[in-house]
Amino acid sequence: MSVDTQSESIWSLAVHGGAGQGREQEANIEHADAIRAELAAVLEKGAAILRNGGTAVDAVEDAVRRLEDSPLFNAGRGSVFNAAGEHELEASIMDGRTLDAGAAAALRGIKNPVSLARLVMQRSPHVFLQGEGAIAFAKAQGMELVDEAYFSTEDRRAALELAKRRSPPPNPSKQGTVGAVARDVHGDLAAATSTGGMTNKAVGRIGDSPIIGAGCYASNASCAVSGTGQGEYFIRATVARDIAALMEYGGKNARAAAAHVIRRRLEVLGGEGGVVVVDRDGHIVFEFNTGVMLRASVTHAAPVRTGIDRRDALY
């Protein structure tokens, strides 16, 4: 078998549904069966795309859209509330083949932010649109808009009320975010990330998820990365790009690069969270310094596996 033929049969897809500690950790464990079932269903669909020769960009958009549509995760439907009791969503996507990228933030009423990010990437001359301009662009592209109530769930409202009742109010807490990374049979990589942000966040706050190089990055020269955790730390530690740079310039493999950035940079700054990484050969790495990270993977050679805490051995 020639090297090319071998490469054509290799594909990988991995997703996360957020990382957390404490109460968030308990909530996730409570819903563990439903979370595992949802993650597995999403990966079965993505696997079909990649198995049939679909692109990494198609696979990550599809996976993140499905996670956005599920109320179990903090993205799209099921997004957390900001301090004003509203939802402001954000997402990004990156094509490792071309280094094209798209992002959108401060979104209201956009059902699938990841698809808006993809439209920004493919149909605008820009990388990042936010607020009114992003929403106007979405409308011009014929995207589906929904009422604010579509995003709201009882669990998220209870989380906001709890945060507001506490005195002094706690720092905005993280509760989710979804992301996907893929390596397709053509040898191309892609990453996508989408979130409702953090419960009780200030109106107008933007986290790492839509910031290329912080919560999302992909380059065929190294890897594709999607992150979840405290955005303010992920931005300052340039988590996603640092992992790629350690591989590209520093010669580290994906596991060593991800461990270095999460343990030696994010954690040292005081941040919590995790990443999913896929490299050029389709190797998947999950690295996190929280109690749980909702996650799942599938490759040409391995069936769908799901994980919640560290007892689940994935990659």
Active site residues: 177
**Contact indicator for 12, 299 with CB cutoff of 8 Å:** yes
Q: Which is nearer to ligand ASP, 199 or 220 (CB)?
A: 199
Provide, rounded to whole angstroms, the least separation between the CB of residue 67 and ligand ASP: 12
Alpha helices, DSSP H only, in the chain?
A: 3-8, 22-30, 32-51, 56-69, 113-123, 131-140, 154-165, 231-236, 239-248, 254-259, 267-269
Provide, rounded to whole angstroms, the least separation between the CB of residue 27 and ligand ASP: 13
Q: Which stretch binds ligand ASP (CB under 6 A): 39-47, 58-66, 190-198, 297-305?
A: 190-198
Tokens 């949802």 sit on residue = 38
Count other C-beta atoms under 10 Å from residue 260's C-beta.
Answer: 17
Provide, rounded to whole angstroms, the least separation between the CB of residue 267 and ligand ASP: 15
Binder of ligand ASP out of 207, 213, 271, 291 (CB under 6 A): 207
3-state secondary structure of 218: strand
Give the chain's length: 315
Phi, psi of 29 (to 5 degrees): -70, -35
Decide if residue 174 touches ligand ASP (CB under 6 A).
Answer: yes
Interface positions, 11-70, toward ligand ASP (CB under 6 A): 18
Binder of ligand ASP out of 188, 208, 272, 287 (CB under 6 A): 208
Decide if residue 209 touches ligand ASP (CB under 6 A).
Answer: yes
Q: Which two tokens stand for residue 276?
A: 């999913």
Interface positions, 126-165, toward ligand ASP (CB under 6 A): none
Interface positions, 212-231, toward ligand ASP (CB under 6 A): 215, 228-231
**Contact indicator for 179, 191 with CB cutoff of 8 Å:** yes
Angle between helix 131-140 and 113-123 (nearest 10):
80
Q: Which is nearer to ligand ASP, 188 or 242 (CB)?
A: 242
Q: Which stretch binds ligand ASP (CB under 6 A): 7-15, 42-50, 147-155, 168-176?
A: 168-176
Q: Which is nearer to ligand ASP, 50 or 163 (CB)?
A: 163
The string over 148-170, giving b where at least 16 C-beta atoms fall within 10 Å of a residue's C-beta and e elsewhere, is: eeebbbeebeebbeebeeeeeee
Q: Which is nearer to ligand ASP, 28 or 219 (CB)?
A: 28
Provide, rounded to whole angstroms, the least separation between the CB of residue 271 and ligand ASP: 10
Q: Which is nearer to ligand ASP, 220 or 290 (CB)?
A: 290
Decide if residue 295 touches ligand ASP (CB under 6 A).
Answer: no
Nearest alpha-carbon partner for 16 in 295, 291, 313, 228 = 295
Decide if residue 92 touches ligand ASP (CB under 6 A).
Answer: no
Binder of ligand ASP out of 78, 176, 271, 307 (CB under 6 A): 176
3-state secondary structure of 187: coil
Provide, rounded to whole angstroms, the least separation between the CB of residue 11 and ligand ASP: 26
Tokens 């950790």 sit on residue = 25
Q: At residue 9, what is the residue type?
A: S
Q: How many chain residues bind ligand ASP (CB under 6 A)? A: 16
**Residues at the site binding ligand ASP, with contacts judged by CB under 6 A:** 18, 174-177, 195, 197-198, 207-209, 215, 228-231
